[in-house]
Amino acid sequence: TVQDAGKLTTFEDNDQKPVGHGRMLRKEDPRFVRGRGRYTDDVQLPGMLHLAILRSPFAHAKIVSIDTSAAAALPKVKAVVTGADLAAQGLAWMPTLSNDVQAVLATDKVRFQGQEVAFVVAEDRYAARDALELIDVEYEVLDPVIDVRKALAPEAPVIRDDLDGKTNNHCFDWETGDKAATEAVFAAADVVVSQDIVYPRVHPAPMETCGAVADFDPVEGKLKLWSTTQAPHAHRTLYAIVAGIPEHKIQVISPDIGGGFGNKVPIYPGYVCAIVASIVTGKPVKWMEDRSENLISTGFARDYIMRGEIAATRDGKILGIRTDVLADHGAFNGTAAPVKYPAGFFGVFTGSYDIEAAYCSMTAVYTNKAPGGVAYACSFRITEAVYLVERIVDCLAAELGMDPAELRLKNFIKPEQFPYTTKTGWVYDSGDYEPTMRLAMDMAGYADLRKEQAEKRERGELMGIGIAFFTEAVGAGPRKDMDILGLGMADGCELRVHPTGKAVVRLSVQSQGQGHETTFAQIVAEEIGIPPADIDVVHGDTDNTPFGLGTYGSRSTPVSGAAAALVARKVRDKARLIASAMLEVSVADLEWEKGAFQVKGDPGKSVTIQDIAMRAHGAGDLPEGVEGGLEAQICYNPSNLTYPHGAYICVVDIDPGTAVVKVRRFIAVDDCGNRINPMIIEGQVHGGLTDGVGMALMEMISFDEDGNCLGASLMDYLIPTALEVPDWETGFTVTPSPHHPIGAKGVGESATVGSPPAIVNAVVDALAPFGIRHADMPLTPSRVWDAMRGAPQPP
């Protein structure tokens, strides 16, 4: 199989050429476009009750007392539960994905606005919400810690006094790279540029909010949980550990998901409350967040305050990159990342450049804000890393008076250097950067754009051209060094071919809109020659799929996609044995062609995979040692991550009178290795680019000094619409992954990672006549206006 890497067998007509061909439409779409998707909130069970959560109005306050009697007396109310009730069962706290603990319901004090304080279970959603109004909580308000820069001040109130001996708000320290070597490189360099760079707190804001339906059967002792989760198997194991229900008695079903973008990776208190409520009431219980709850209390992203430094020679050879980061993790460290990587994969901040030394130091702190996760198309913090390096490289270009495209081209890792070990220890599997960059520049008409810009500058018009080049590390990951709470990051896959030659493939990953029902059928089709339409993809149900860690970090294709290809090859190997018996020739005399085994040199003698499937299940002898049936199962442990890359060019115009930024053009050239479904990839890229416009220009979760969340609705937390985005211009190059069985790399987060720096670089480039070298996201009209006037940047 390893020798086959990157080679795709080809079929003649499109229907028979499942991988990589034109525009195979998505198998799931007939269901979605007819409104027949089945989401968690569509689950209706007989006798189902509804749960609503009372949330803290304060960012930091002691709970003095809670009186639930009036709420409990409402006619339709079945139960009112507080943290004290949970504590009596040992369920008031739960582990987070980062080995921290988080309150399911607050017992001692509340630590962020929107924190879960109590819940009501009632006959309908409205009665449950009405009852919340009748719960009387007495709080003693404490000073909140909101400004991350003051979190470690000696006088700062201690947020996590629940942790033994905790006397400050320090969460963790982390470093990577070689400090001394980097200092030496910086000391000897001709040019050193430093820049403070903030990646603000943003929210994934999926269309469907988070929710669950828990149904505990006291007779069977079995819990069935429908929930909005990107990782059903990992969640089930954690529920087993937390709730003490045996794992085989828990079934987690993740039905259709209305967008995840990382928001649905963590386990939220609401899921646990729904489970507890079903156990307490003996009835199925539904919990579904509203929009404000989703925005104020669930997995945020970013919130990195970075100081970037870059050292180079006068003629533009980059020598070293150094960064110091202050990371805001909110009140509980809810980050989802492999345990050895508390800062996710931020270590790839050296980007796509061949440099001599790099170093990063990071301090993470607790604040009175919702638990920070790494959620939102982050590739485990690569979003922040790419933003840092691509911004600081532009700062260097400005300092040197060099064209930013030329500076990048001069410093790229060369194709012959792959596999390339970075100065922070990551092994980039493959890459060929210059052609990708050149293609983007050709598509953009780069030289002409610069000419146009020069002419416009003469006339006082503000036009900017921004470039970003990224390398991502996706597909976590090799189990020798990657696990989440002790669970290795491998993925199982099972393939069954039915007697009539139709098949079902069962995955451990779960789609939230990425089209897995289509692309995984394509992968299997490519390997065993059954048309994609004849292959059903089953996912999102722990009782009916093999164990694996789920979908995030664009790992489905790198890990599960590899598993699907290999399980299909395993089935094909068995089919070959059966074919040899059917054709009465030795295995060595068979060749695989278009879904059939044929006798070498005698194409007339052949059996199709469908013939073989029937024989495998039929009467009559099978070859010595071959069992009946045609199915296989594997668990795939990747040997490395995959490293997709891309070149993005953004063109903006800024209205000098209003400071409104208009993204006029955006060129995105992505390289995700071999491409399974170009149409789906294009959709992924379009979505991610739109996310990037949101983050660069509009989105930010901010707080006032009391810790009130100022982005609690979509009126305040702005997300982009079709009006704010241009017609995307996409292109691609193909540099297969050498270790992935079909040479594919992940792509689901590439555009979200790569687009913010391209847009910000373009805006800063447009503002160059004002002597501006940096401005922080989101570049709203007021921020751009202030920047143009030299006003200080907001903190």
> Residues interacting with ligand CUM, by CB under 6 A?
230, 260-262, 265, 374-378, 552-553, 749
Shortest gap between Cβ of 21 and ligand MCN (angstroms)? 11
CB of 376 to ligand CUM, least distance (A): 5
> Considering beta carbons, is residue 316 or 673 the nearer one to ligand MCN?
673
Tell me whether residue 206 or residue 694 sits nearer to ligand MCN (CB atom). 206
Write down the least CB distance from residue 511 to ligand MCN, Å.
7
Least CB distance from residue 555 to ligand MCN, whole Å?
5
What's the full length of the chain, in residues?
795
Q: Give the DSSP letter of residue 558.
A: I
Q: Shortest gap between Cβ of 415 and ligand MCN (angstroms)?
A: 19
Q: Which does 490 bind (CB under 5 to 8 A by kind): ligand CUM, ligand MCN, none?
A: none
Q: 352 phi and psi, to 5 degrees?
A: -100, 20
* Orientation angle between helical segments 433-444 and 446-458, nearest 10 degrees: 50
Tell the smallest beta-carbon distance from residue 737 to ligand MCN (Å). Answer: 9
Q: Which are the contacts of 409, defined by CB distance < 8 A and separation ≥ 6?
A: 434, 437
Q: Which does 687 bind (CB under 5 to 8 A by kind): ligand CUM, ligand MCN, none?
A: ligand MCN
Q: Please give the residue whose beta carbon sits closest to ligand CUM in the complex.
A: 262
Closest separation in Å from C-beta 266 to ligand MCN: 13
The residue (of 260 and 492) whose beta carbon lies closer to ligand CUM is: 260
Using CB distances below 5 to 8 A depending on partner kind, what does residue 673 bind out of ligand CUM, ligand MCN, none?
ligand MCN
Residue 389 contacts residue 350 (beta carbons within 8 Å):
yes
Say which entry of ligand MCN, ligand CUM, none residue 596 contacts (CB below 5 to 8 A, set by partner kind).
Answer: none
**764 near 195, Cβ under 8 Å?**
no
Q: Which amino acid is at 135?
A: I
> Would you call 754 helix, strand, or coil by DSSP?
helix
CA dist 109 and 541 (Å) reads 36
424-447 burial code (b ≥16 CB/10 A, e <16): bebebbbbbbeebbbbbbebbebe
Closest approach of ligand CUM to the CB of residue 719, in Å: 16
Q: Which one of ligand CUM, ligand MCN, none interacts with residue 514, CB within 5 to 8 A by kind?
A: ligand MCN
Nearer to ligand MCN, 574 or 745 (CB): 745
The enclosing H or E element of 751 equals helix 750-766
Answer for the pair 25, 33: CB distance below 8 angstroms, yes or no: no
Q: Which amino acid is at 236?
A: R
The least CB distance from residue 484 to ligand CUM, in Å, is 12
Q: Please report, for residues 8, 16, 166, 741, 750, the alpha-carbon distance to residue 596 in angstroms, rounded to integers and kept in the order given.
A: 16, 12, 66, 21, 37
Binding site for ligand MCN (CB under 6 A): 206, 259-262, 377, 512-516, 519, 551-557, 672-677, 680-681, 684, 687, 744-749
Distance in Å, CB of 374 to ligand CUM, minimum: 5
Residue 675's binding partner among ligand MCN, ligand CUM, none (Cβ under 5 to 8 angstroms by kind) is ligand MCN
Query: What is the closest distance, in whole angstroms, from the C-beta atom of residue 551 to ligand CUM in the complex?
Result: 6
Q: Residue 300 has what DSSP assignment?
A: B
Q: Which does 374 bind (CB under 5 to 8 A by kind): ligand CUM, ligand MCN, none?
A: ligand CUM
Of the pair 57, 259, the CB lying nearest ligand MCN is at 259
**Angstrom distance (rounded) from CA 676 to CA 643:** 16
Closest separation in Å from C-beta 265 to ligand CUM:
5
Contacted by 744, from ligand CUM, ligand MCN, none: CB < 5 to 8 Å by type: ligand MCN
Measured CA to CA in angstroms, residue 446 lies from 59, 420, 452, 569, 783 at distances of 49, 29, 10, 45, 28
Q: Where are the beta strands (DSSP E) in 56-159?
A: 61-67, 77-82, 93-95, 101-103, 109-110, 116-122, 136-141
Q: Are 365 and 171 in contact (CB under 8 A)?
A: yes
Please say which residue, 464 or 673, places its beta carbon nearer to ligand MCN.
673
| Chain centroid to CA 214 | 26
Cβ at position 520, least distance to ligand MCN in Å: 7
Neighbours of 47 (CB within 10 A): 10
Q: Which alpha helices (H) appear in 17-157, and where do they start and end?
A: 29-33, 69-72, 83-88, 125-132
> Is the separation of the CB atoms in 81 and 117 below 8 Å?
no
- 66/336 with CB nearer ligand MCN: 336
Give the one entry of ligand CUM, ligand MCN, none that residue 747 binds, where binding means its C-beta sits below a cut-off of 5 to 8 angstroms depending on kind.
ligand MCN
List the single partner that 265 binds among ligand MCN, ligand CUM, none, CB under 5 to 8 Å by kind: ligand CUM
In three-state secondary structure terms, 616 is helix
Which one, 269 or 748, has the nearer CB to ligand MCN?
748
Closer residue to ligand CUM, CB minimum distance, 265 or 616: 265
Whose Cβ is closer to ligand MCN: residue 308's or residue 475's?
475
Task: Check: CB of residue 490 under 8 Å from CB of residue 549.
Answer: yes
CA nearest to 233, candidates 541, 563, 636, 567: 541
Q: Which among ligand MCN, ligand CUM, none contacts residue 338 (Cβ within 5 to 8 A by kind)?
A: none
Which secondary structure element, helix H or strand E, spans residue 401, and what is its range? none
Closest separation between CB of residue 368 and ligand MCN, Å?
Answer: 27
Residue (176 or 508) nearer to ligand MCN, CB: 508
Comparing CB distances to ligand CUM, the nearer of 97 and 377 is 377
Closest Cα to residue 87, out of 69, 63, 55, 71? 63
Handedness of CA 721, 686, 783, 380 (dihedral sign): positive
Cis peptide before 778 (omega within 30 of 0): yes
Q: Which is nearer to ligand MCN, 423 or 740 (CB)?
A: 740
Which CB, 261 or 703, lies closer to ligand MCN? 261
